[in-house]
Amino acid sequence: MAKNLKTPDMNLPMWFDGQNINEALFCEEFLHERRIIFANGAFFTPDGRVTDDLPLRGEIYDKLKFCAVNNIPRKITNILEVLKLEAQVPDFPPEQDRIHLSNGTLLLDGTFTEGRPAIVRSRLPVAYNPNAPAPEIWQNFLDGLLHAEDIPTLQEFIGYCLIPSNKGQRMMVIKGNGGEGKSQIGAVLSSIFGTNMKDGSIGKISENRFARADLEHILLCVDDDMRMEALRQTNYVKSIVTAQGKMDLERKGKQSYQ
């Protein structure tokens, strides 16, 4: 009896044979269409680090939904794991001489290049405009909050936070009475940094060994309401502020890593 051979459908993608999905071939095609790498435990794109993989899962689902396969959510999870291997690069060091913005890249020498052609570790959700008028509302706010001689210090510190470097080995503490408006500085910085900033607790960072891993890939951590009592230990906070090499981080249920 002759075998019943199935004629392949030439309209099907190379990673789908009509019944099964070849995850490796899918990832290879996906990376040809999408600029993305996997390094230091995270995906990175021209928009910066992928902090929420739901949009990425949505892109994969759009390519899979015509396939008559069972349990697509699990298949998407498997594809993401294979994608980590396919898109992995040995290292992705931070670039300390430039700031990536929504409309281009600003070098520290003042040179600005429009566009987002490269994959970057972080990109701020604000546009660079060299002809922008002076921020009068912000300046008036600072005039009412700080002494005149302290305003340049705050401005310099914010500029320091824009680049992925801690060569300055500095953290800033702003002390004052309640209701003065100090929290508004954090709100403004959140708008500038987006997902590159974390609202956290200095006390939790020093006492909880898992909290420090949440600062990985983060440019700025803001504690909006520090406790008044002294920290029981300061070595972890000091190491974050001053370290120029890798640190030992630990996540729940996983081996610590550098």
- Each residue's pLDDT, cut to its tens digit, for the chain (258 residues) gives 443 333 345 577 889 888 888 999 999 999 999 999 999 889 999 999 999 999 999 999 998 888 867 888 999 999 999 999 999 998 898 899 999 999 999 999 999 999 998 999 999 999 999 999 999 999 999 999 999 999 999 999 999 999 998 889 988 988 888 888 888 999 999 999 999 999 988 888 888 888 888 888 899 999 887 776 767 777 778 888 887 777 888 888 888 888
Q: Are residues 107 and 217 in the same domain?
A: no
Which residues make beta-bridge pairs with 21? Answer: 16
Give me the pLDDT at residue 203, please. Answer: 83
Q: Are residues 141 and 255 in the same domain?
A: yes
How do 42-45 and 37-39 pair as beta strands?
antiparallel
Residue 64 domain boundaries: 23-86
Give me the pLDDT at residue 10, please. Answer: 54
Q: Are residues 141 and 221 in the same domain?
A: yes
Q: Are residues 97 and 82 in the same domain?
A: no
Q: Are residues 145 and 253 in the same domain?
A: yes
Q: Are residues 50 and 111 in the same domain?
A: no
Counted domains in the chain: 3
Asked if residue 200 lies in contact with residue 222, where contact means CB atoms within 8 angstroms, the answer is yes
To 5 degrees, how large is the angle CA 64–CA 67–CA 71?
75
Q: Are residues 212 and 141 in the same domain?
A: yes
Q: What's the pTM value of the predicted model, to 2 decimals? A: 0.84
Has residue 2 been placed in a domain?
no
Q: Are residues 138 and 250 in the same domain?
A: yes
Has residue 174 been placed in a domain?
yes
Distance CA 48, CA 163 (A): 14
Give me the pLDDT at residue 3, please. Answer: 39
Q: Are residues 39 and 144 in the same domain?
A: no
Give me the pLDDT at residue 4, please. Answer: 38
Q: Are residues 160 and 232 in the same domain?
A: yes
Has residue 173 been placed in a domain?
yes
Q: Are residues 154 and 235 in the same domain?
A: yes
Q: Are residues 118 and 139 in the same domain?
A: no
